[in-house]
Structure 1
Amino acid sequence: MGIRSILSRPLARYIIRQQQEWIARSVEVQEKWRAELVKKAVGTQFGKDHFFKDIHSYADFKQAVPVNDYEDLKPYVEKIKSGESDILWPGKPLYFAKTSGTTSGTKYIPISKDSISNHIDSARNAILTYVNETQKADFLDNKLIFLSGSPILTDTGGVLTGRLSGISNHHVPSYLRSNQLPSYETNCIEDWETKLDKIIDETLGQRMSLISGIPPWVQMYFDRIIERTGKKIKDVFPDFSLFIYGGVNFEPYRAKLFESIGKRIDSIELYPASEGFLAYQDKQNEEGLLLLLDTGIFFEFIPVENYFDENPRRLSIGEVEVGKNYAVIVNNNAGLWGYSLGDTVKFVSTDPYKVLVTGRIKHFISAFGEHVIGEEIEKALKYALERHPETEVVELTVAPMVNSKDGGLPYHEWLVEFATRPHDMEQFANDLDRRLIELNIYYKDLITGSILRRLELVPLRKNSFIDYMRANGKLGGQNKVPRLSNDRKIADELTRLNHN
């Protein structure tokens, strides 16, 4: 047993004691953060514009601070980018996390000296929570692979700027840096495929026990290793025992990833975003991610059905209910105010507060009024996979086909890349459709009312999604293809690539 694993256990116990203290006072802790955030930002440009000095309650806060997206806050961000201080938060941000938006182009999300600990400590605490629960810590003494974006930072108005994963790379604790892979030089390679080959060069032959990354890019790493060695991952890395992931639903990738590994291993799901590290899995055998309520974020939640109302209902943590879908709104100690993440979550527990990430508020299909959401797509897929256990799915996306080529009724088109196809493709599609009808009453009504016909399944050739991402300059890093679209932009390009 090495020094890292020995020291991790008492530190883990300390973190759990802290965690239990704020969990017991969740509602009180959130109100404390609301008051502290407003008090600290009262002298900022945003605070003055929104009369923070007159905010004394959550009701006052909702009256003063509207729900914002990036475009709403962009004028303030542009002032920071031009070198101004005290705009959204006192002083200047420590970093800008640069991220791609679907409607806003490149976003510059501020990370302050106050908020950086939310990102770094939360990732650490997720691992320590796992250590405390399982008493497994030996993995910390071996090599740890973090598949992340480039740590190279640029300057924007005097603020260091880069991808969140690259920024986080600069804050890996010194006691872990000596066993971290890949090397800094390799991490700086921008081209994903060149970088991936170099990562494999550096990691083969190492005593690796932990891998962290977004599942589709980890799968690509595994595929390349298997191609090069002809071995399962368990035989290449016999000590591999923990997989840490976030950013997408793991279920569609689970079967193929574990088949590539060749054995079952533990995993930890994270819920990180440029706007804040929001939650992590705290129990190996319990559903849901622990919402981090004491790390500098004041959370609000809007019921999904009210999100597009002119004045949507905004709820604090003490007002949410189990089993309902909510859009997540954050206010944080980097100066994001009433900021809509675009994510939807469902609470599975309120003691403690634990969530499942169910999709994106703008990623749905409602071309005909059906409002099919990501959670329903994931559940339908899981249902079909359970009935066709030979099947392995690499990736998928769903889009409406409004004007069908045969002149018949419109339908939902599922474009799926299989690693292993179902023996009966037609029955697989029927199972998907049957489950979707059970999950969504509006979809059922449209099917039974002959407004829509049953979904159609389009199997794609190998590497279709990789080719799509490459063609759009989004291969690797934190990028992922939306599961649902209300138009056919992604579907048509995938179809074109599939026929080339």
Structure 2
Amino acid sequence: MGVKALLSKPLAAYVHKKDRSWIENPVEAQQAVFKSIVRKAQATRFGRDHGFSAISSHADFVQAVPVRDYEGLSSYFNRVKQGEKDVLWPGKPLYLAKTSGTTSGTKYIPITSDSISNHINGARNALLAYVHETGNSAFLDGKLIFLSGSPELEEIGGIKTGRLSGIANHHVPGYLRTNQLPSYQTNCIEDWETKLDQIIEETIDQNMTLISGIPPWVQMYFDKLMRQTGKPIKDIFPNFQLFVYGGVNFEPYRKKLFESIGKEVDSIELFPASEGFFAYQNQQQDKGLLLLLNDGIFYEFIPVEEYFKENPTRLTIGEVEPGVNYALVISSNAGLWSYSIGDTVKFTSIKPYKVVVSGRIKHFISAFGEHVIGEEVEKAMQRTMAKFPTVELIEFTVAPHVSQDKGASFHEWLVEFSREPQNLEAFTDELDQQLQKLNSYYYDLISGNILQRLKITGLPRGTFRDYMKSQGKLGGQNKVPRLSNDRKLADGLLGVAKL
């Protein structure tokens, strides 16, 4: 056992013991974060505008600070981008994390000297939690790959600006830098396909033990490796033992990914975003993600059905219930205040508080009043594929197809299969039945002949990749929306596929 693997075990035990204090006192931990960030931001432009000096409770905060998304806070973000100090948080941010919004265009999220540790320690502690639980630390002695955006940064308003994954690349602990691949020069390549070729050249003969990235882009890496060598991943990297991922639901990709590997390996799910590092999987047999309650982020939770109301209920951590879908709202030491990040979560446990990401608040289909959400289409596909075990898919998305003729509208599922169903009709029928079971409104619309049964449109191999490339969103942290309430994405995919 190498030095890194050996020393990680006492560090993992120390972090585990330290975390027990806030895990066992979650309400108190959140109250301490709330008081600290409100007090520290009192003299900022935002704090003065919203009377932070008079806020002493969450009820006061709800009255003073409405829930907003990026557009709602854009006047403050614009001041920050212009280099103004003390706008949302004391001083100027260390970085602006550049991210592509589905409705906002490019967003610039502040990362401050107080909030940077949340991003770095969250990822570190996820690995240490795995070491503590399993006793396996050998992967730290091998090569580690993080498929990420470019670490090259520009400046806006005197603030270093770039993709979150690129910013994080500058903060990889020194003791891991000698293990890290690809090289800095390769990471700086902007074109994803060129970059991928270079990553393969640098890693193909290395002792890869940990691979991290968004599943569809990792799959692309694996596919190229297998085409080049004619071998499964387990034979290319015999000591590969840990896969770390986040950003999308893993289940639609799991089967194909592990078939590519050729063996089961442990995996850790993370819940990172430009706005903060929120949670990570701390137990291999539990898919729930431990919500980080003491790390500079104060959480509020809005029941999804109330989200678009004028004054929705805003719950704190001690008021949530398991199994309910909530829109996630945060206030933090990055200077985000009652900021809706767009994700929905569901608690799987409240002792300790663990969540799964259930979808996006703006990603739904309700063209006919059905309000189908991402979690439901993913579960429907997952359950259907379990009944058709030979089927493999690469990617899919769902959109409404609206017709003026009564009973002629339907949900169109645009699917790129790597192995198609032998009986597409039976597969489609099962998929529709599963969605009806998961969403009673959809069931009512089908049984009432308002909607036809869903239709699957198979797309040629590479369609999603080619579409993302055409949008400048190939690789890195970019994700395909699982569903949408309009035809923009669907029509774009069909245009690329020329169907």
**Same fold by TM-score, threshold 0.5 exceeded?**
yes
Secondary structure, counterpart of 2:389 in structure 1: coil
Structure 1 letter corresponding to 2:205? G
Q: Report the counterpart of residue 36 of structure 2 in structure 1.
A: 36
Instruction: For 2:406 and 2:219, locate their aligned partners in 1 and report how far apart those are by CA, in whole Å.
Output: 39
- Measure how far apart 1:116 and its partner are: 0.2
Query: What letter corresponds to residue 458 of structure 1 in structure 2?
Result: T
Whole-Å Cα distance in 1 between the matches of residues 42 and 255 of structure 2? 50
Unaligned runs of 5+ in 1: none
Name the counterpart of 1:210. 210
Distance in 2 between residues matched to 1:131 and 1:246, nearest whole Å: 19
- Rounded to whole Å, the distance in 1 between the matches of 2:93 and 2:39 is 18
Q: Tell me the alpha carbon deviations over residues 18-65 of structure 1, each in whole angstroms, 9 at most, x when there is no partner.
A: 111110110011011111110000000000000000001110011111
Matches of 1:205 and 1:99, distance apart in 2:
33
Q: What's the offset of the Cα at 1:279?
A: 0.3
Give the match's secondary structure for 2:346.
strand
CA distance in 1 between counterparts of 2:73 and 2:375 reads 29
CA distance in 2, matches of 1:108, 1:291: 24
- Equivalent residue, structure 1, for 2:456: 457
Work out the CA distance in 1 between the residues paired with 2:11 and 2:426.
52
Alignment of 1:381-392 (within 5 A): 381-392=381-392
Aligned to 1:416: 415
TM-score where L is the length of structure 2: 0.99
Partner Cα distance (2:398, 2:82) in 1? 41
Question: How far does the alpha carbon of each residue in 1:93-147 deviate from its partner, in whole angstroms, 9 at most, with x for none?
Answer: 0000000112221111000000000000010000000000000000000000110
Paired amino acid for 1:59? A
Aligned with 1:354: secondary structure? Answer: strand
CA distance in 2 between counterparts of 1:286 and 1:139 reads 21
Following TM superposition, by how much is the alpha carbon of 1:407 offset from its aligned partner in structure 2, in angstroms? 7.9
Partner of 2:140: 140
Which SS does the other structure have where 2:269 is aligned? Answer: strand
Q: Is the 8 A contact 2:407 2:449 kept in 1?
A: no
Q: Distance in 1 between matches of 2:335 and 2:492?
A: 38
SS of the aligned residue for 1:290 comes to strand
Q: How far is 1:496 from its partner?
A: 1.8
Distance 2:372 2:107 in 1: 28
Offset at 1:499? 2.2
Per-residue CA deviations over 1:417-451 (Å, capped at 9, x if unaligned) read 00111111111111110011111110011011110
1:403, CA displacement in angstroms?
A: 2.0
AA matched with 2:320 = V
Q: 2: distance between equivalents of 1:419 and 1:87?
A: 50
Q: What is the rounded CA distance, in whole Å, between the counterparts of 2:102 and 2:394 in structure 1?
A: 23
Looking at structure 1, the residues matched to 205 and 187 of structure 2 have their Cα atoms a distance apart, in angstroms, of 19
Q: Determine the structure 2 residue equivalent to 1:325.
A: 325
Corresponding residue number in structure 2 for 1:486: 485
1:82 match: 82
Cα displacement string for residues 384-410 of structure 1 (whole angstroms, at most 9, x for unaligned residues): 110000011100000000028x98610
Secondary structure, counterpart of 1:144 in structure 2: strand
Residue deviations 1:195-224, cap 9 Å, x none?
A: 000000000110110000000000000001
Does structure 1 retain, via aligned residues, the 8 Å contact 2:82–2:157?
A: yes
**Amino acid corresponding to residue 327 of structure 1 in structure 2:** A
Aligned residue runs from structure 1 range 9-88, under 5 A: 9-88=9-88
Q: How does 1:82-481 map to 2 (within 5 A)?
A: 82-403=82-403, 409-481=408-480
Alignment partners' CA distance in 2, 1:463 and 1:103: 25
C-alpha distance in 1 between matches for 2:372 and 2:337: 29
Q: Which runs of 5+ in 2 are unaligned?
A: none
Distance 2:491 2:174 in 1: 47
Q: Give the SS at the match of 1:243.
A: strand
Aligned to 2:340, the other structure's residue is in SS state: strand
Residue 79 of structure 1: how far off its partner (Å): 1.0
Residue 495 of structure 1 corresponds to: 494
Q: In the TM superposition, what whole-angstrom CA distance separates every residue of 1:59-101 from its partner, at most 9, and x where no partner exists?
A: 0011111101111111111111112100000000000000011
CA distance in 2, matches of 1:438, 1:232: 37
> Which secondary structure state, in structure 1, belongs to the residue aligned with residue 99 of structure 2?
strand
Q: What is the alpha-carbon distance in structure 1 between the residues aligned to residue 407 and residue 332 of structure 2?
A: 50
Q: Is the 8 A contact 2:215 2:248 kept in 1?
A: yes
* Contact 2:406 2:450 survives alignment (8 Å): no
Q: Higher mean Cα deviation, 80-89 or 47-56? A: 80-89
Q: Please give the alpha-carbon distance, in whole angstroms, between the structure 2 residues aligned to 1:111 and 1:490.
A: 31
TM-score by length of 1: 0.99
Q: Over residues 156-191 of structure 1, what are the superposed CA-to-partner deviations in whole Å (9 max), with x where a residue is unaligned?
A: 111100000000000000000001000000000000
CA distance in 2, matches of 1:491, 1:473: 17
Query: How many pairs were matched up?
Result: 499
SS in 1 for 2:83: coil
Give the aligned residue type for 1:210.
L
Give how far 1:356 is off: 0.6
Q: Percent identity?
A: 65
Counterpart amino acid of 2:288?
G
Compute the displacement of 1:287 (Å).
2.8
Quote the Cα distance in structure 2 between the aligned partners of 1:240 and 1:325: 36
- C-alpha distance in structure 2 between counterparts of 1:457 and 1:184, whole Å: 42
Q: Output the amino acid matched with 1:423.
A: Q
Say which SS state the counterpart of residue 345 (structure 1) adopts: strand
How many angstroms apart in 1 are the aligned matches of 2:181 and 2:228? 19
- Pairwise CA RMSD of aligned residues? 0.9
In the alignment, residue 9 of structure 2 is paired with which amino acid?
R
Q: What SS does the corresponding residue of 1:248 show, helix, strand or coil?
A: coil
Q: Which amino acid aligns with 2:485?
A: N
